[in-house]
Structure formats: structure tokens, C-alpha cells
Amino acid sequence: MDLRSFYNGKKVLVTGHTGFKGSWLSWLLLDLGAKVVGYSKAPIDYRGNHFNLTNLSKEMASYEGNTLDYEKFHKVITSEKPEIILHLAAQPIVNVSYEDPVETFQSNAMGTIHLLEIMRKTDFIKTGVFITSDKCYENQEWLWPYRETETLGGHDPYSASKAMAEIAISAYYRSYFKKIGVGVASARAGNVIGGGDFAKDRIIPDIVQAMDERRPVILRNPQAVRPWQHVLDVARGYLTLGMHCHLDPVKHSTPYNLAPQGVLNKHNVLYITKKFIEVLGHGEYQIDPTSGKFHEANLLRLDPSKAMEFLGWTPTFSPDETVAFTAAWYGEFLKNKDNLKAVTLKQIQDYLKLSED
């Protein structure tokens, strides 16, 4: 079954729909014909916000709230009765987790537990896909990609909070959901880039802001290797996992890595920066001499073999294509901020054609 046939007409709730990944995922679901409901904090507008710039609130049922507000969260879910939930709401920034570890642990661990508990107490939710992170693994700084069976852990509060969420997801599934046939899976993706990300301490937003201000972008960790992916590749992975978990919960209620494979999984921050500047045709960078104030892993790769084998998912874009597609969106943003809904929808349609070929 293809994604359009599966999601068309289904009610899907997306938490964190006002965020970068959540807004792209919501637009993709709308394109596939789903009835989309969102629950999230108010959009955070650092330097822009994809949710606001594309007027997504006019296209879906959008509820403002915190996953830590259990009563409100429960009320929205029981009122809307979604069949599938995609949980993206989180505190997503490593550096912010150092500044506010309590809020990070609450949002990423307790927010997840609140949703699991709501699912346990309802009978209409058939599938939950929980978005955690590649950083949930205990990073050994080794050359080999991490598989889903590797040890969980985390040096920093963000990584540890995602490992905690993974442990809770597994415990709830084995204790409650497995026996009643409800699908619960987690998705661990790497560094996601794409148009409309304006968050703090992320390389593409930092480059775009520097370009807008006509100054060099400052790189704090230029040699850090990450599994870079376009937001639409990852969103399609989430939806593919959701579909398979819904159709066969016993087989697919497990963690899945979503990442490029092999040689495509080796690019560092400096490479991505140079490629982005090259595609747009302007921009400069400088390396921060004080980088390393807080610990951040230098080498992190994921093994996507399980998703390739059991979900049939692979990224459509290479890293260079990912950067080019991302740069095209920001090129339009820098020229005209009034046409970004059309730009987003065109990119989704172009992407789906490529992914179906």
C-alpha cells in the first residue's frame, strides 16, 4: 500500500506541528489527504517560523498547548479522536538543554510519558509514532554506524532526555500496548535540514541569518559528522513507519533509524556549509576559536539497514541534493517572504514525484 492510499481520509494528530519538522510533516499529510490535527506550544519565532510563514493554521485544526499540561492534552485528544498520533513536540536543541536541563527533561521525557498514558486510557488510538533522536545512543565516538540495539545514553541533557523517552516507549509497549494490538514505534533520525528552519544553534538557519545580515557565519563545531537529511525524506520515513506499524503492530512496534547509508553518512558541518554557500552563490564562514565550550559529539552515524529492509524506506536525496533543495527554499525566502506556502507545496509535489520514481 502506498502512503496516499493509506493516509487519505485518516485523522492524524501531530504534536509539535508549529515546529520546523512538524509543519512540513503536517503539509505532507494534508497533501496525502489526511485530516490533520495539531497540538503544540505557540510557534517560536526566532527569525521566522515555517508554520507562520506558510499560514498552516488555516489548513488544519490547530490547538495551542503544552504536552506537560496533561488535562488539556487529554481533552484535545479525546475530543478529536485521532486514529494515528505522530509525536514530535520536544525541546530540540542541545545547547538549550545545557541552559535549561529541567525543561528539557520535562518536555522530552515527561511529555512523551503523558502521551503514552493518554493512549493507554483510550481505545481509539491505534498507532503512535514517537520521534526521538539519533543522539539517544551512548556515543562512543567510533567509526561504525549505530544500530537500534546499541546502548542508550547521553552525555548532555538533551541526549539523555531522548534516551529516557525511548526507555519509556519500550516499557509502555511491552506492559500495555502489545497485548491489545496497538502499534507503538520510535523513529531516530539524524540532523534534519530543509527550508523554513530558523531555530537557534543550527547550521542552516545560522548561515541564512548571516547572509541576511551580510556577515560571515560562525562555525562552532566544523568537523562534527552528522547523518544529514532533508526534512521531507525524514517526514516520509515517519509516515512510512506509521503505516507499517498500523498494519502490522507486532512486527513494527520497535525503534527504527532513519539515515543515509554508507558513504552518504559521512559529511561534516564544514562540508554542508561550503556546499550551501556554493549553491546560493554568496556567503562566507569563519570558525569559532572558542568552540567546545560545551560537550557535543563529533562523530555520529546511524545504520538504516532495518528501515531499508522492513519498511522499504531509503532517502530520496543525496546530501548534495538535500543541500540544493534546502538552498532553493531559502533563496525564495530571501527574495520574497509572501509566497512561501506555494514554494513549500511545490517542493512537496516535486519531492513526491521523485520519491515515487
Concatenated DSSP letters of 303-340: --HHHHHHT----SS-HHHHHHHHHHHHHHHHH-TT-H
Lowest mean pLDDT among 117-126, 167-176, 196-205: 196-205
- Under DSSP, the state recorded for 155 is S
* Phi, psi angles (nearest 5°) of residue 150: -70, 160
Which amino acid appears at position 195 of this protein? G
Residue 130 has pLDDT above 60, yes or no: yes
Residue 131 has pLDDT above 90, yes or no: yes
* Phi, psi angles (nearest 5°) of residue 206: -65, -40
Which amino acid appears at position 78 of this protein? T
Residue 293 has pLDDT above 60, yes or no: no
Q: How far apart are CA 257 and CA 207, in angstroms?
A: 28
pLDDT value at residue 289: 80
Contact (CB, 8 A) for 236 and 287: no
For the chain, domain boundaries: 3-356
pLDDT value at residue 295: 54
How far apart, in Å, do the first and last CA atoms of the chain sit? Answer: 16
pLDDT value at residue 263: 61
In this prediction, residue 226 has a pLDDT band, given cuts at 50, 70 and 90, of confident
In this prediction, residue 294 has a pLDDT band, given cuts at 50, 70 and 90, of low
Identify the residue whose cell numbers are 481520509: 9
Question: Coil, strand or helix: which one is 10?
Answer: coil
pLDDT value at residue 227: 78
pLDDT value at residue 71: 99
> Which grid coordinates belong to 14?
501531530
pLDDT value at residue 190: 81
Q: How far apart are CA 13 and CA 17, in angstroms?
A: 9
Question: Coil, strand or helix: which one is 341?
Answer: helix
**Whole-prediction pTM value?**
0.95
**Selected residue with higher pLDDT from 143 and 99:** 99
Contact (CB, 8 A) for 347 and 195: yes
pLDDT value at residue 10: 99
Residue 23 has pLDDT above 70, yes or no: yes
Question: Coil, strand or helix: which one is 139?
Answer: coil
CATH topology of domain 3-356: Rossmann fold (3.40.50)
The residue-averaged pLDDT of 176-202 equals 95
> Which grid coordinates belong to 319?
546530501
Residue 297 has pLDDT above 70, yes or no: no
Q: Calculate the alpha carbon distances from 49 to 4, 97, 313 in Å.
A: 27, 21, 28
Of 323, 324, 332, 199, which Cα lies nearest the Cα of 269?
323
Q: Calculate the alpha carbon distances from 132 to 57, 184, 185, 206, 328 in Å.
A: 25, 13, 10, 23, 28
Contact (CB, 8 A) for 22 and 16: yes
> Which grid coordinates belong to 65?
498547548
